[in-house]
Amino acid sequence: MLSVRFLRPARPVARYYSTASAKNNAIGFIGLGQMGYNMANNLALKAGRPLIVYDAVKDTLTRFKDQNKDVETASTPAEIADRASTIITMLPASPHVKEVYFGKNGIMEGLHKDSMVIDSSTIDTAVAKEVAAEILKSGSRALDAPVSGGTGGAAAGTLTFMVGANSQEDFDSAKPILEHMGKNIVYCGQNGNGQVAKICNNMLLGVSMIAVAETMQLGIKLGMEPKLLANILNTSSGRCWSSDTYNPCPGVMPTTPASKNYQGGFGNTLMAKDLRLAVNAAQDAHSTVAIGALAAQIYNQVSSTPEYQNLDFSSVFKVTIFGYCHN
């Protein structure tokens, strides 16, 4: 997970924002985790603009620079904001976003008026709105643009971006940049709505993955061959993404994390976090999410089990074998 320890900038910057206009056409990218690394790599290959990257892990920065010789690096988020007219962040959770934007040497310290700031993290809707409000107050454009499509989509540049923006004009300005990293760029309405779409999607994803894992386990224990069972499900009314694209049973699909000891992909800890966001949002909205809440409990239990914390979320299939989800 990306840490938030910052180095002192090379020169002092004003608190919150400069009145000077953004000086160049550079894109700044902050957060080179499993998703962000691939997203930034696509920008380096396709955008045709200078790219400046930052991550708190120096080894990650070095590796990215070694693979993309023309890319520049920065020592703090504030330096990224000072040097780039478009800033994109991809961070693990709400506390990281608040620290990177509002903390010492954070984005708001170096931000120029008329910049464009896009946060692709999956975070609390209230935090997304708070960040957007401060950016808009500074005279820049703010968009929340969380993604769906996993690490495979990030590498292939086929992500779906769910975008909340202050106006259609702001969305239209950001869309060409996002198209270097994604295939489906969807305007969801006002700031914060991108996060609403994302947490709804991921709640359904978590629920469906548990359901497919339990279904595959049941069929196998009743004597069905896994690939045959999966083929039947995927040509029947139970078909879903968790069954036909990301099946959690090892050996059914050779390219999925399930067939690679559940390495890579989207971690259990992140799924647990996203489900908590969905349940909290549902409570605030007085909306009933009984199955979503149960899925949140299951993934919280899975992600709290040390040997499963860093495995892909499809490893819930393996967990069900040992009964952790059925106490």
Residues classed as catalytic: 198
What does the alpha-carbon distance between residue 183 and residue 261 come to, in Å, rounded to a whole number?
29
Is residue 228 within 8 Å of 262, Cβ to Cβ? no
Is residue 92 within 8 Å of 58, Cβ to Cβ? no
| Farthest-apart Cα atoms in the chain, separation | 69
What does the alpha-carbon distance between residue 138 and residue 16 come to, in Å, rounded to a whole number?
8
What does the alpha-carbon distance between residue 232 and residue 255 come to, in Å, rounded to a whole number?
20
Is residue 277 within 8 Å of 123, Cβ to Cβ? yes
The closest alpha carbon to 75, from 104, 44, 95, belongs to: 104
127 phi-psi bin (left φ>0, alpha ψ -120 to 50, beta other): alpha
Is residue 266 within 8 Å of 312, Cβ to Cβ? yes
Mode of pairing for the β-strands spanning 141-144 and 159-165:
antiparallel
